[in-house]
Structure 1
Amino acid sequence: MREEEANSDCPVLGITGPYCSGKSTLAQELTRRGWVQIEVDRLGHESLARKKNEIVTEFGSAVLSPDGTSVDRKKLGSLVFSDPRRLEQLENIVHPDMKARSEELIREYRQSQDLPTGILLNAAILFKMELESLCDAVIWVSAPLPLRIIRARKRDGLSWKELFRRFSAQKKLRPQLAPGNVDMYKVDNLQKGRAVRRIERIVRDRLWNRTKPT
């Protein structure tokens, strides 16, 4: 994060980790304690609308909804998630737009008269999108694989085949891939209350004192 932003009263905390580790659950709990959340997945949906023309140019009109007014996420997904080259083409279109929108929202929250406790940037592929450059620190949320499978089955109702595909696709999402230009802390999300208290201690003891003006 740029030096002038690192001194803000409102720190930015990245939240990332593998599928069904409990990232959104922890983020929602922190919003009850004065934080605001930027859901990068949701920004991706918005980016599909903003970048509709570029997407059609790249992938053709077959990815549009029946009435042609919007990008059909299911059609687009079936095209790109089975082809790494096509997925990269899509990411080259939407990721810069999503990052720019994240920066815009951070500025808006920090300029708000009702300043939040902090800003959560919730993104499963935070490092791939290089969003760590917007963060004062990053929380890597983890949970044992059996617990993640139970959560996935309960929440999404996916078949075992689809679960295997999703878990396999995220093998590269490891905390070791974090660059050295941001502090990262691992939080085990076995129990929500304990995990939230751990995050609050990190912010208080290791982050807040650094970002708070003296």
Structure 2
Amino acid sequence: MLIIGLTGGYASGKSTAARRFAEHGVPVIDADAIAHELTQPGSPALRLIVEAFGPEVLDEEGRLRRALLRRRIFKDAKARRKLEAILHPLILQAIQRRLATIEAPYAIIVAPLLIESGWTRWVDRVLVIDAPGILQYERAQKRDRISTEDIEAIMSAQASRKERLAAAHEVIVNDNGLEKLYYQVDELHAYYMQLTQGRC
């Protein structure tokens, strides 16, 4: 089975592209969704996060205050590395377990930090969703309702556009609406299906 690592900058359109692949029947594993599952109240991962960052990262019902933790880690590289050391091994294990259950010509792993985390060695090809910086800002502010300062902190913590493009086998340019994005996904789906001939 061919493994595609799908990545891109903040608010570049990764989830939208992944949903389009899923409409073609492609299994999609979302690293962020796994991280969310791993940090539910009472989970071992959440206990480790509380030990590392203090009880203030939980709300009164024992749930992770994600916005608070996000602000902290994107403004403090040491804190970010601490969180990644807790979560990344657990996320990778969960991804590998799910991949072991999949029977398909190819599967997609959506991972915003695919390059930064060194996970490119676990995939066969890297697909980058690329968008102009100004569009990323507009989408992030509309979708997440966060400040320009927070957006800048998140984007500066990620690999640069140049680094992502250097690691890419394929690139989807998401700068002109859904129709163009879907067309590129559809073309790549056909290409990936061709690549898998004889592999599965």
Q: TM-score range by the shorter chain?
A: 0.7 to 0.9
Structure 2 CA distance for aligned equivalents of residues 103 and 188 of structure 1: 29
2:166 is equivalent to residue 166 of structure 1: no
2:55 is equivalent to residue 52 of structure 1: no
Structure 2 CA distance for aligned equivalents of residues 168 and 84 of structure 1: 10
Cα shift at 1:117: 4.7
Identity %: 26
Cα shift at 1:96: 0.5
Cα shift at 1:31: 0.6
Gaps of 5+ in 1: 1-7, 111-115
Distance 1:144 1:78, change over 3 A: closer
How large is the Cα RMSD of the aligned pairs?
2.4
The one-letter code matched in structure 2 to 1:146 is I
Structure 2 CA distance for aligned equivalents of residues 57 and 159 of structure 1: 28
Post-superposition Cα deviations, 1:15-67, rounded to whole Å, max 9, x if no partner, equal 00111221111110111111121111111122223312222222222222214
SS at match of 2:5: strand
Q: Is the 8 A contact 1:99 1:129 kept in 2?
A: no
2:103 is equivalent to residue 121 of structure 1: no
Post-superposition Cα deviations, 1:77-133, rounded to whole Å, max 9, x if no partner, equal 3433321111111111111001111101111223xxxxx453110011012223223
Q: Report what 1:16 is aligned to.
A: 7
Cα shift at 1:71: 2.9
Alignment TM-score, normalising by the size of structure 1: 0.77
Q: How many residues align?
A: 192
Q: Is the 8 A contact 2:74 2:157 kept in 1?
A: no
Distance 1:50 1:37, change over 3 A: farther
Q: Is the 8 A contact 1:138 1:184 kept in 2?
A: yes
Q: Report what 2:65 is aligned to.
A: 72
The one-letter code matched in structure 2 to 1:53 is R
Cα shift at 1:73: 2.0
1:189 to 174, 187, 192: 174
Q: Report what 1:89 is aligned to.
A: 82
Distance 1:157 1:66, change over 3 A: closer
Q: Report what 1:154 is aligned to.
A: 142
Please tell me whether Structure 1 or Structure 2 has the larger radius of gyration of its CA atoms.
Answer: 1
